[in-house]
Amino acid sequence: VAVDANGADLGPREVAAGAAMAAADGVRVLVFGPAEEIGDTAGAAEVIDAPVSIAKSADPARTVRSTPEASIVQAARAVAAGEAGALVSAGGTGAALAASLFNIKRARGIYRPALALPLPTPARARPVTLLDVGANTEVRPEHLVQFAFMGAAFAQAMLGIPRPRVALLSNGEEAQRGSETVLEAHRELARLTGGSGRKDSAAALLEFIGNIEGGQVPTGAADVVVTDGFTGNIALKLIEGVSGTVLRAIRDAALSSPRSRVGGALMRPALGSFRAAIDPEAQGGAYLLGLRRLGVIPHGRFTHRGFAQAILRANWGAADDLVERTHRTLHAAGALKVSPVPERPGAAAGAAST
């Protein structure tokens, strides 16, 4: 696994400490970052000196091209060259996405890569996978259709859900509710997984349960929730923001009187296990699907534990060959891109079209 150590809130040493943990578990890890700063933190992981960070770039697509020495670009090139089976980037999502598209490139038959986030929910043991959470601000219906199968392959391989229930996120459960894009994706998903022709193969991979509303995301009504990157990013940030706000308000309530302070202290262990159940570090971060190799983008504020999880899961996805599994799923469903489709300039950052 190739790891970009630049860009994390706690600095490259924290990422290197996570790499050391994963390396101690037997994963071969290449760490691209400032060798001097990392020092001996990386343990058994191999450090390649790459002090230049473009994690905060305002124009990642351009910066990736103009800065071949940047740590994320070197890490992505190592994956493209087969020196590593997967990429982990602790830096900016935009830079990681651009470097991956430019170097690792899209997998055969994929229109657009997507960012998938396994969301831990207190209501159930397995996370709910939400995609796209930010790679594609505008999408076409065929993109959403592919996201459905990409998300299902991910949930199957990485979360162990045999036949994931997949839903489109919309402003109503009824099939006729939603934007034009959602309505068309709905019809196409119903057709691909329904009674006609390829039923046995596509319907065996996932169960398309139609639309769900925002309120059904945390209840686990679906295993995979499909949306565009604009809505998905807003949804993800809302989920994080609302949980945080409610938990803070409850903590404040617990501190508001001597009586409730005692109550809060008595409840602390039980609340601790609830917090552990929804710990985002346990999921390793967001997963970049649809490239020729798997990418994992842990949250910049993670500690070494979260970075270690990201590397272990990236290694797991590479060993399981998630990319090939996704291709088989899309092929069986008849949802691969069959002919070259003109893309808007810049949208694919130079990725090959097959």
Q: Which residue, 223 or 294, is less far from a copy of itself as judged by CB?
A: 223
Instruction: Give exposure, 262-300, as e/b (b: 16+ Cβ within 10 Å).
Output: eebeeeeeeeeeeeeebebbebbbbbbbbbbbbbbbbbb
Tell me the closest approach of the beta carbon of residue 182 to a copy of itself, in angstroms. Answer: 8
Contact 107, 298 (CB under 8 A): no
The C-alpha atoms of residue 168 and residue 175 are separated, in whole angstroms, by 10
Question: Which of 188, 200, 189, 270 shows the shortest CA–CA distance to 224?
Answer: 189
Tell me the closest approach of the beta carbon of residue 332 to a copy of itself, in angstroms. Answer: 30
Question: Which of 286, 152, 144 shows the shortest CA–CA distance to 226?
Answer: 144
Q: Which residue, 49 or 240, is less far from a copy of itself as judged by CB?
A: 240
Site residues, a copy of itself (CB under 8 A) = 58, 121-123, 134, 137-138, 169-172, 174, 177-180, 182, 213-219, 227, 229-231, 233-250, 252-254, 256-257, 259-260, 262-271, 273-274, 277
Order of strands, edge to edge, in the sheet holding 224-226? 46-49, 30-33, 2-4, 86-89, 294-297, 286-289, 114-119, 128-131, 224-226, 165-169, 207-212
- What does DSSP assign to residue 234? H
Tell me the closest approach of the beta carbon of residue 327 to a copy of itself, in angstroms. Answer: 28
Q: Which residue, 68 or 122, is less far from a copy of itself as judged by CB?
A: 122
For residue 291, the SS3 value is strand
Tell me the closest approach of the beta carbon of residue 86 to a copy of itself, in angstroms. Answer: 26
Tell me the closest approach of the beta carbon of residue 115 to a copy of itself, in angstroms. Answer: 11
Q: Which residue, 80 or 235, is less far from a copy of itself as judged by CB?
A: 235
Q: Which residue, 107 or 119, is less far from a copy of itself as judged by CB?
A: 119
Q: Which residue, 68 or 263, is less far from a copy of itself as judged by CB?
A: 263
Tell me the closest approach of the beta carbon of residue 260 to a copy of itself, in angstroms. Answer: 4
Tell me the closest approach of the beta carbon of residue 277 to a copy of itself, in angstroms. Answer: 8
Question: Which of 252, 266, 246, 261 shows the shortest CA–CA distance to 122?
Answer: 246
Contacts of 11 (CB under 8 A, 6+ apart): 37
